[in-house]
Amino acid sequence: MAKAGIYFDYDLMANNEIKESFKCLVCGKELACRWTDYHGEGVCLTCGTPYQLIHYDENNKRIERSPQINIKKEYIAKLQQYWEETKKTMSLGIYLGRNPEPENYNAVIEWLDRQ
């Protein structure tokens, strides 16, 4: 599910920023994304892992770069384990106001708390 239950064309334009084949580091699928509410951040449509898709250099000039996972390194293995155990999207990423999939977000946070 996506924001308001619909993948809007705008959300799926995040895929225009993925310039080459890239496998999601959590679910292993070819990365396809929708936008979150954070500038340049998309989430994997399969597992909900957030990636920075738009990048800038130190002079604030836009640069081309492969997707960068927006998860601390120490959590990547845990999210891979969650994905292997549940196959449930996690709906991570940054949103203004309510997470579009609160049940999925809460489930992964509660699972992480139990680890």
**Smallest gap from residue 3 Cβ to Zn ion (A):** 18
Q: 14 or 24, CB closer to Zn ion?
A: 24
- Site string (7-36) toward Zn ion, x via CB under 5 A: -----------------x-xx---------
Q: What amino acid occupies position 71?
A: I
**Smallest gap from residue 82 Cβ to Zn ion (A):** 11
CA dist 78 and 89 (Å) reads 14
CA dist 66 and 28 (Å) reads 16
Pick from 35, 25, 44: nearest CA to 95: 35
Burial label for 20, CB within 10 Å (0-12, 13-18, 19+), is exposed
Examine residue 53 and tell whether it contacts Zn ion (CB under 5 A): no
**Smallest gap from residue 79 Cβ to Zn ion (A):** 9
Examine residue 47 and tell whether it contacts Zn ion (CB under 5 A): yes
- Contact positions vs Zn ion (CB under 5 A): 24, 26-27, 44, 46-47, 49
